[in-house]
C-alpha cells in the first residue's frame, strides 16, 4: 500500500503541476490581445473498477490522476476601444489568417497596421490575408466597388494598397431640371452644377422665356441652355429649344436634348407631363440634379463591419478595395498553438474553410468591430480561484508522498 500511495502522490504532483502551469500561463496573458486560454481536463487512474460491495482491499486500488486533455476556452474576450482604424475585433466565430510567406497561421489578434510598403500586417510583420477588389490600376481607382466578394480559401493573398491613390473624375452625362415657370411672362433661370472630364465644376444654365408666337390651347416657352465655367468667363456651348405645354400646364414636348460641357455631352432632361418643368398657377420654383463627380485624392483606408478595406477620398467618395478573410475550422480546439496568440492547422482541426450563403457565395460568417481589439478570453477571478485549488491539491499530494515515505521507512526499520 505504501508503494501504491507513493505512485498516487507522484501522479498527483505531475497532474496538478501541469494544471498550475496552464492556469499560470492564462493569468500571465490576461491582458494579451487575442489570447485564447486553456483549461485542464483530468482523468483517474485505476488498477481495476471500484467495487463498493467487495471486502477485499485489492478491489479498489487506484493509481492517482493524470491530465487527459487541455481544452481551448471558446468564449469571446471582451472588446477594448482603440483609436486606430486598423484595429478590429471578431464579433463571433472565426480567425484572421496571417503569413510570413513560409507558413500560414491563424489568430484572433486584430491589432493590424500598414508597413512601409503599405501592406496590411500584424505588429511583428506577418501579412494579413484577404481578397482584393481588383479595382486599382497603378495609383488610379476604377471602378467604384460597393462590396468585395470573398474569394476561395486557396486564393487569399496579401493585402497591399498604394499610398497614393486617385479617384478619377466622372463627367456629368445627365442633368435633370424641375420647377414651375408660372403664368406670368417673365424670364426664368434654373442652373445645375456639372463636372467635365478635367474634374472642373461648371455651370449649366437654362434661361426660359415665353415664346413670342403662341399656339393655343397650350403655351410655349423658349429655352436657351449654356455651359460655362463657374466665373462665367468661358462659354463652352449654347443650345436652344422650345418647350410645349398643354392647357393644364403639363409638358407635352421638348426640342432641347444635349449640350457640350467642355468635351463631354450632357443630356438635358426637363421631364414630361408633371415630372419636370411645368407652368401652373402656383409659386415659381426651380431645382436641378446632375450626376458626375470631381476627382479626389486618397485620405486613407478604414475597415468596416464587413472586414472590407474602404478607401476614402477628398471628394467625399468611398470604395471597397479589399476584404479581410475570416477562416473557420471543423474543430477549433484541434488547432496547434505556435505562440501566445497564433495557431496552425492540424489533423485534429481540419483544413480552414469559408462559410457560404444560400447562393454558394463565400461569406465571413461573423462581423468585425473596428476601432476595437479583443482582449484575452481569460477571467482573472476564475483563474486565480483555480490556481489556489490546484496549489492546495499539489500540497495534498506532497503530503501523501511524505506519509508514504514515512511508512516505508518504518517498514524497513521493522
Beta bridge partners of 296: 167
pLDDT number for residue 407: 74
pLDDT number for residue 237: 98
Q: Are residues 16 and 155 in the same domain?
A: no
Q: Are residues 271 and 187 in the same domain?
A: yes
DSSP 222-279: EEEEEEEETTSS-EEEEEEEEEEE-TTS-EEEE---EEEETTEEEEEE--SBTSSEE-
Q: Are residues 162 and 209 in the same domain?
A: no
| β pairing state of 104-107 and 342-344 | antiparallel
pLDDT number for residue 49: 47
Q: Are residues 186 and 157 in the same domain?
A: no
Question: pLDDT tens string for the chain (414 positions)?
Answer: 556 666 666 666 777 677 788 888 889 899 999 999 988 776 665 554 455 555 555 555 556 676 666 788 889 999 999 999 899 999 999 999 999 999 999 999 999 999 999 999 999 999 999 999 999 999 999 899 999 999 999 999 999 999 999 999 999 999 999 999 999 999 999 999 999 999 999 999 999 999 999 998 999 999 999 999 999 999 999 999 999 999 999 999 999 999 999 999 999 999 999 999 999 999 999 999 999 999 999 999 999 999 999 999 999 999 999 999 999 999 999 999 998 899 999 999 999 999 999 999 999 999 999 999 999 999 888 888 888 887 887 777 677 667 766 777 777 777
Q: Contact, 139 vs 248, CB < 8 A?
A: no
pLDDT number for residue 66: 67
Domain limits for position 247: 177-290
Q: Are residues 182 and 283 in the same domain?
A: yes
Q: Which three cell numbers stand for residue 132?
A: 482584393
Question: Does a structural domain hold residue 129?
Answer: yes
Q: What is the CATH number of the domain that holds 283?
A: 2.60.98
Question: Does a structural domain hold residue 396?
Answer: yes
pLDDT number for residue 180: 97
| C-alpha–C-alpha distance, residues 333 and 316, integer Å | 45
Peptide bond just before 20 cis, omega within 30 deg? no
Q: Are residues 159 and 182 in the same domain?
A: no
Q: Are residues 193 and 262 in the same domain?
A: yes
pLDDT number for residue 113: 94
Question: Does a structural domain hold residue 328?
Answer: yes
Question: Does a structural domain hold residue 70?
Answer: yes
Question: Does a structural domain hold residue 94?
Answer: no
Q: How many domains does the chain have?
A: 3
Q: Are residues 388 and 361 in the same domain?
A: no
- Gap between the terminal Cα atoms of the chain: 16
Q: Are residues 159 and 201 in the same domain?
A: no
pLDDT number for residue 48: 47
pLDDT number for residue 264: 96
pTM for the full model? 0.77
Please list, in sequence order, all residues whose beta carbon lies within 8 angstroms of the beta carbon of residue 185, skipping any fewer than 6 positions away. 210
304 φ/ψ angles, rounded to the nearest 5 degrees: -100, -170
Question: Does a structural domain hold residue 392?
Answer: yes
Q: Are residues 182 and 274 in the same domain?
A: yes
The closest alpha carbon to 383, from 2, 142, 26, 47, belongs to 26
Domain end, chosen from 290, 323, 343, is at 290
Q: Contact, 98 vs 126, CB < 8 A?
A: yes
Question: Does a structural domain hold residue 90?
Answer: no
Q: Are residues 282 and 197 in the same domain?
A: yes
Question: Does a structural domain hold residue 82?
Answer: no
Q: What Cα–Cα distance (Å) separates residue 270 from each residue in 17, 205, 273, 288, 331?
A: 84, 12, 10, 9, 63
For cell 503569413, name the residue.
Answer: 99
pLDDT number for residue 412: 74
| C-alpha–C-alpha distance, residues 9 and 403, integer Å | 10
DSSP 170: B
Instruction: Supply the Cα-derived Rg of the chain in whole angstroms.
Output: 37
Domain end, chosen from 261, 290, 319, is at 290
Q: Are residues 231 and 282 in the same domain?
A: yes
* pLDDT, tens only, 94-117: 999 999 999 999 999 999 999 999
Domain end, chosen from 272, 290, 308, is at 290
Amino acid at each position: 500500500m505504501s508503494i501504491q500511495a507513493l505512485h498516487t502522490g507522484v501522479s498527483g504532483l505531475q497532474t496538478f503541476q501541469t494544471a498550475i502551469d496552464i492556469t499560470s500561463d492564462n493569468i500571465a496573458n490576461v491582458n494579451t490581445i487575442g489570447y485564447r486560454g486553456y483549461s485542464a481536463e483530468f482523468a483517474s487512474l485505476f488498477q481495476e473498477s471500484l467495487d463498493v460491495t467487495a471486502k477485499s482491499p485489492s478491489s479498489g486500488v487506484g493509481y492517482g490522476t493524470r491530465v487527459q486533455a487541455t481544452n481551448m476556452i471558446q468564449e469571446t474576450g471582451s472588446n477594448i476601444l482603440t483609436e486606430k482604424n486598423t484595429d478590429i475585433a471578431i464579433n463571433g466565430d472565426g480567425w484572421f489568417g496571417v503569413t510570413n510567406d513560409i507558413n500560414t497561421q491563424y489568430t484572433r489578434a486584430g491589432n493590424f497596421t500598414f508597413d512601409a510598403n503599405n501592406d496590411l500586417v500584424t505588429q511583428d510583420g506577418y501579412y494579413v490575408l484577404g481578397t482584393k477588389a481588383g479595382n486599382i490600376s497603378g495609383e488610379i481607382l476604377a471602378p467604384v466597388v460597393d462590396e468585395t466578394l470573398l474569394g476561395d480559401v486557396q486564393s487569399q493573398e496579401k493585402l497591399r494598397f498604394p499610398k497614393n491613390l486617385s479617384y478619377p473624375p466622372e463627367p456629368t452625362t445627365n442633368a435633370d431640371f424641375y420647377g414651375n415657370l408660372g403664368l406670368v411672362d417673365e424670364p426664368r433661370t434654373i442652373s445645375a452644377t456639372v463636372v467635365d472630364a478635367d474634374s472642373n465644376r461648371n455651370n449649366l444654365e437654362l434661361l426660359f422665356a415665353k415664346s413670342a408666337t403662341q399656339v393655343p390651347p397650350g403655351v410655349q416657352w423658349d429655352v436657351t441652355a449654356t455651359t460655362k465655367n463657374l466665373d462665367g468667363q468661358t462659354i463652352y456651348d449654347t443650345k436652344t429649344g422650345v418647350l410645349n405645354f398643354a392647357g393644364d400646364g403639363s409638358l407635352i414636348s421638348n426640342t432641347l436634348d444635349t449640350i457640350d460641357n467642355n468635351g463631354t455631352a450632357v443630356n438635358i432632361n426637363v421631364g414630361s407631363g408633371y415630372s419636370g418643368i411645368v407652368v401652373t398657377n402656383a409659386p415659381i420654383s426651380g431645382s436641378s440634379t446632375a450626376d458626375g463627380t470631381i476627382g479626389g485624392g486618397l485620405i486613407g483606408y478604414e475597415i468596416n463591419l464587413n472586414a472590407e478595406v474602404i478607401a476614402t477620398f477628398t471628394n467625399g467618395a468611398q470604395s471597397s478595395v479589399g476584404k479581410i478573410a475570416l477562416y473557420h475550422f471543423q474543430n477549433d480546439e484541434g488547432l496547434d498553438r505556435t505562440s501566445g496568440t497564433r495557431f496552425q492547422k492540424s489533423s485534429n482541426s481540419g483544413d480552414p474553410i469559408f462559410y457560404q450563403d444560400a447562393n454558394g457565395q463565400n461569406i465571413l460568417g461573423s462581423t468585425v468591430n473596428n476601432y476595437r481589439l479583443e482582449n484575452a478570453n481569460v477571467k482573472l477571478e476564475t483563474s486565480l480561484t483555480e490556481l489556489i485549488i490546484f496549489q492546495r491539491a499539489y500540497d495534498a499530494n506532497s503530503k501523501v508522498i511524505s506519509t508514504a515515505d514515512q511508512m516505508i521507512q518504518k517498514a524497513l526499520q521493522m
